[in-house]
């Protein structure tokens, strides 16, 4: 705040729930002081979603209730005419989403942003992503060059070059809680299960594990999953609220207000809709679909454990999500290990539980399986409900297709994480279920796991060969001898690989620990233990920064491979030095879908998709003037005359 009050451009990052909104609202109120009739708009706050804009408006009114400052809210979903009336009152502060603000700028000829002296980009990493690039480019060209620019978010990279188009002037970077990216009061729980078992696991968690007086936020990947789970819970007699990106604005307000009033205890949302939903007394978050980026996980779990309260984040992790789990812990710089198997628990129950408690106390993450007996019982019930409902059957097909597209478009995990997953040990039952199952059920689970890993000592050829030998048959009797010779040759190679893996586990203290310097580790070769490095720790300069995984996770360019864009960043684009080269750089061809031909664009020309812009709700509206403001102005003038 002292930097902002001094008039300096600031790029600020702090943990979700740490008071970022107040950090830019209080200096703004201090700077504006009171309403000036002739000055025009003096402050502009841009938000990526309607909900976040509503939340900012609420806080602005509360903090500035003893001032006469006028505030106008410009978001999609509300009538343009009512917003024209707000703008006619000569507001001092505009809180807007980029799409609706652009709509007003195109409609109103005399609307100017040149008087704006204080600009805030809330959730800047979302605003400067690909979604709002076109709108922000046009808005920034209409702002004064003498403005003060502030960028705020819970996840921001340290490379300010990513925000070069914001027009920052000698900015100061302020990043708080970089080491504690999630609240220390937050408990994280990770369950491994199959995709089709998620429905049963979710219903069990809601019915039997989470208290009925706790409010829970459920994150899913698409709006189709929101609708499916809403109907499924309704069939089970559980009341829920829902919220997704292109949901009707009035319906969204009704559902969120019901959840705020604690009339419903569950809110099912997508990532697009969740930013801006501020519910202080939230208790739990459930990640139905594991987030593909670490920063998305930070934003999701940041909804709970705010302002000194405790909270829990449950995550469902499939086998395809395991590399993302490792990426997340690389980003958080936290170790992760598998829960002990049932056999280990039966052999030394007290010792194993003490180790788990010690791991939790040290801040380590333990992931484990869901009880299969519980899943089987609830899965049968879910299957009956879906089969008996035509609506659920059709919604399930839509969910399957939507998830297939979601899986294709989500960013890839790091390559080293994919390799690491193959060496992870088998996980046992998650420790939070230790009181659910008795000793007999643990023994049954242990036997079941042994059955899964059972491998016969003889192949089918050897078995038939032994039988043929006993009958003195020449042909098949030789099969057993051939397989014995083959096994003797291959056994050395197999044992060598197993020895390498066991040595690797010994080097990591028999646990799989993921740390921030994972890339610097070398793969063990042969059966020998890894020798100590001869590098001088005091003077050694690594080719990879120690905070590389953290910065890669915060970057707006995605996390494909945690460093896939290092080459892209190193590319130097030079200006051509001959006539033909310059002409090639100037001329760009764009495919015109309507006319089905390539059209030539000169340098600086921008394609606006037939004059339409995309709003924060995903709807496309005309960016050109439609005359709605002129009609409203004529009607108001006529009413005043009469």
pLDDT digits 0-9 by tens, 391-414: 999 999 999 998 888 888 888 888
pLDDT the model gives residue 524: 40
SS3 10: strand
Tell me the C-alpha distance between 504 and 315, whole Å. 28
- 141 and 76 share a domain? yes
pLDDT the model gives residue 270: 86
- 161 φ/ψ sector (left φ>0, alpha ψ -120 to 50, else beta): alpha
Q: Give the bridge partners for 338, in sequence order.
A: 367
Q: Which residue has the tokens 């009538």?
A: 79
Give the residue-averaged pLDDT of 588-608.
62
pTM of structure: 0.70
- 16 and 122 share a domain? yes
SS3 510: coil
Does the pLDDT at position 516 exceed 50?
no
- 166 and 231 share a domain? no
SS3 367: strand
**Segment 262-286, tens digit of pLDDT:** 899 999 998 876 666 667 678 899 9
- 169 and 191 share a domain? no
Give the residue-averaged pLDDT of 415-435.
82
Q: Please identify, among 175, 209, 239, the residue that sits at the C-terminal boundary of a domain.
A: 175
Q: Please identify, among 121, 140, 175, the residue that sits at the C-terminal boundary of a domain.
A: 175
Return all residues near 580 (Cβ < 8 A) that are at least 6 apart: none
End-to-end CA distance of the chain: 51
Domain count, the chain: 3
- 160 and 214 share a domain? no
Instruction: Strands of 61-185 (E only): list them.
Output: 71-74, 93-96, 118-122, 148-153, 172-175
- 257 and 223 share a domain? yes
Does the pLDDT at position 369 exceed 90?
no
- 170 and 192 share a domain? no
Query: Which among 230-234, 450-454, 507-511, 595-599 has the top mean pLDDT?
Result: 230-234
Q: What are phi and psi of 530, to 5 degrees?
A: -70, 130
Q: Give the pairing type, strands 620-622 and 612-614.
A: antiparallel
Q: pLDDT-based confidence at 603, cuts 50/70/90?
A: very low
Return all residues near 251 (Cβ < 8 A) that are at least 6 apart: none
Tell me the two tokens of residue 579.
């006539």
Q: Give the pairing type, strands 365-369 and 336-338.
A: parallel
- 247 and 126 share a domain? no
pLDDT the model gives residue 514: 46
User: Helix crossing, 390-409 with 372-387: angle to 10°?
Assistant: 120
- 308 and 423 share a domain? yes
Tell me the C-alpha distance between 625 and 425, whole Å. 62
Would residue 214 count as lying in a domain?
yes
What is the percent of the chain where pLDDT is above 70?
67
Task: Compute the mean pLDDT over every residue in the chain, rounded to the nearest whole number.
Answer: 76
Tell me the C-alpha distance between 530 and 497, whole Å. 15
Tell me the two tokens of residue 385.
């409900």
Would residue 399 count as lying in a domain?
yes
Q: pLDDT-based confidence at 474, cuts 50/70/90?
A: low
Residues in the chain: 642
Q: Please identify, among 437, 464, 496, the residue that sits at the C-terminal boundary of a domain.
A: 437
Tell me the C-alpha distance between 450 and 445, whole Å. 9
Cα 193 to chain centroid distance, Å, stands at 20
Tell me the two tokens of residue 129.
């992503």
CB environment 428-443: b (16+ within 10 A), e (fewer):
bbbbbbeeebeeeebe
Question: For the domain that residue 47 is a member of, what is the CATH number?
Answer: 3.40.50.300
Does the pLDDT at position 519 exceed 50?
no
Q: Give the pairing type, strands 172-175 and 148-153.
A: unpaired
Would residue 117 count as lying in a domain?
yes
Q: How far are the Cα atoms of 504, 519, 594 from residue 527, in angstroms, in the given order?
A: 10, 21, 65
Q: What is the DSSP letter of 612?
A: E
Does the pLDDT at position 321 exceed 50?
yes
Would residue 306 count as lying in a domain?
yes
CB atoms within 10 A of CB 28: 22
Does the pLDDT at position 197 exceed 70?
yes
Tell me the two tokens of residue 153.
């978010």
Tell me the two tokens of residue 379.
């899965």
pLDDT the model gives residue 625: 65
Would residue 124 count as lying in a domain?
yes
Give the residue-averaged pLDDT of 175-204.
83
Q: How far are the Cα atoms of 192, 373, 559, 622 from residue 429, in angstroms, in the given order?
A: 9, 11, 31, 55
- 151 and 214 share a domain? no
Would residue 395 count as lying in a domain?
yes
Helix segments in 243-301, DSSP class H: 249-260, 271-274, 294-301
Would residue 403 count as lying in a domain?
yes
Cα 604 to chain centroid distance, Å, stands at 33
Tell me the C-alpha distance between 608 and 611, whole Å. 5
pLDDT the model gives residue 11: 86
- 146 and 240 share a domain? no
Domain that holds residue 115: 2-175
Closest-CA residue to 246 (of 76, 56, 58): 76
Q: Give the bridge partners for 419, in sequence order.
A: none
CB atoms within 10 A of CB 206: 20
Q: What is the DSSP letter of 210?
A: S
- 168 and 192 share a domain? no
Q: How far are the Cα atoms of 71, 122, 127 from residue 45, in angstroms, in the given order?
A: 11, 7, 12
Does the pLDDT at position 158 exceed 70?
no
Would residue 468 count as lying in a domain?
no
């Amino acid at each position: 705040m002292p930097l902002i009050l001094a008039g300096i451009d600031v790029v600020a990052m702090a943990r979700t729930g740490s008071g970022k909104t107040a950090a830019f609202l209080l200096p703004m109120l201090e700077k504006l002081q009171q309403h000036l009739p002739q000055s025009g708009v003096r402050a502009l706050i841009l938000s990526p979603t309607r909900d976040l804009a509503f939340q900012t408006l609420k806080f602005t009114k509360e903090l500035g209730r003893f001032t006469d400052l006028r505030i106008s809210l410009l978001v999609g979903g509300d009538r343009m005419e009512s917003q024209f009336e707000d703008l006619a009152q000569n507001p001092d502060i505009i809180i807007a989403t980029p799409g609706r603000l652009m709509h007003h700028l195109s409609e109103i000829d005399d609307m100017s942003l040149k008087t704006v002296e204080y600009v805030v980009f809330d959730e800047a990493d979302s605003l400067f992503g690909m979604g709002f690039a076109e709108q922000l480019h046009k808005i920034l060209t209409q702002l004064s060059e003498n403005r003060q620019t502030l960028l705020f978010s819970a996840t921001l990279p340290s490379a300010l070059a990513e925000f070069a188009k914001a027009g920052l002037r000698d900015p100061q970077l302020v990043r708080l809680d970089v080491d504690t990216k999630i609240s220390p009061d937050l408990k994280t729980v990770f369950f491994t299960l199959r995709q089709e078992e998620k429905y049963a696991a979710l219903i069990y968690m809601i019915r039997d594990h989470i208290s009925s007086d706790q409010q829970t936020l459920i994150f899913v990947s698409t709006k189709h999953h929101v609708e499916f789970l809403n109907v499924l819970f309704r069939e089970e007699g559980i009341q829920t609220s829902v919220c997704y990106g292109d949901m009707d604005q009035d319906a969204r307000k009704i559902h969120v207000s019901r959840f705020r009033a604690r009339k419903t205890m569950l809110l099912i949302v997508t990532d697009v809709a969740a930013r801006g939903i501020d519910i202080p007394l939230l208790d739990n978050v459930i990640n139905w679909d594991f987030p593909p980026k670490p920063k998305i996980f930070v934003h999701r779990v940041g909804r709970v454990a705010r302002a000194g309260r405790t909270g829990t984040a449950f995550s469902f992790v499939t086998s395809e999500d395991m590399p993302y789990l490792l990426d997340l812990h690389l980003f958080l710089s936290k170790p992760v290990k598998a829960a002990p198997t049932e056999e280990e628990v039966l052999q030394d129950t007290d010792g194993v539980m003490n180790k788990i408690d010690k791991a939790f106390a040290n801040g380590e993450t333990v992931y484990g399986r869901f009880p299969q007996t519980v899943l089987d019982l609830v899965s049968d019930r879910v299957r009956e409900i879906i089969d008996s409902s035509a609506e659920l059957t059709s919604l399930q097909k839509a969910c399957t297709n939507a998830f297939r597209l979601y899986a294709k478009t989500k960013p890839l995990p790091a390559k080293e994480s994919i390799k690491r997953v193959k060496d992870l040990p088998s996980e046992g039952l998650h420790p939070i279920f230790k009181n659910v199952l008795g000793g007999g059920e643990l023994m049954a689970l242990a036997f079941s796991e042994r059955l899964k890993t059972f491998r016969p000592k003889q192949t089918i050829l050897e078995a038939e060969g032994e039988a043929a030998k006993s009958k003195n048959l020449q042909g098949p009797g030789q099969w057993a001898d051939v397989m014995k010779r083959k096994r003797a040759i291959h056994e050395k190679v197999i044992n060598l690989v197993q020895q390498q893996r066991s040595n690797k586990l010994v080097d990591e203290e028999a646990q799989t620990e993921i740390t921030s310097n994972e890339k610097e580790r070398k793969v063990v070769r042969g059966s020998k233990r890894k020798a100590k490095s001869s590098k001088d720790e005091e003077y050694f300069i690594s080719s990879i920064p120690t905070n590389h995984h953290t910065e890669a996770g915060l970057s707006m360019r995605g996390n494909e491979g945690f460093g896939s864009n290092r080459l892209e960043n190193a590319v130097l684009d030079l200006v051509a030095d001959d006539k033909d080269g310059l002409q090639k750089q100037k001329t760009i061809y764009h495919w015109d879908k309507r006319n089905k031909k390539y059209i030539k664009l000169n340098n600086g020309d921008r394609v606006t998709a037939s004059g339409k812009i995309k709003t924060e709700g995903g709807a496309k509206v005309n960016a050109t003037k439609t005359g709605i403001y002129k009609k409203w102005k004529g009607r108001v003038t006529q009413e005043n005359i009469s």
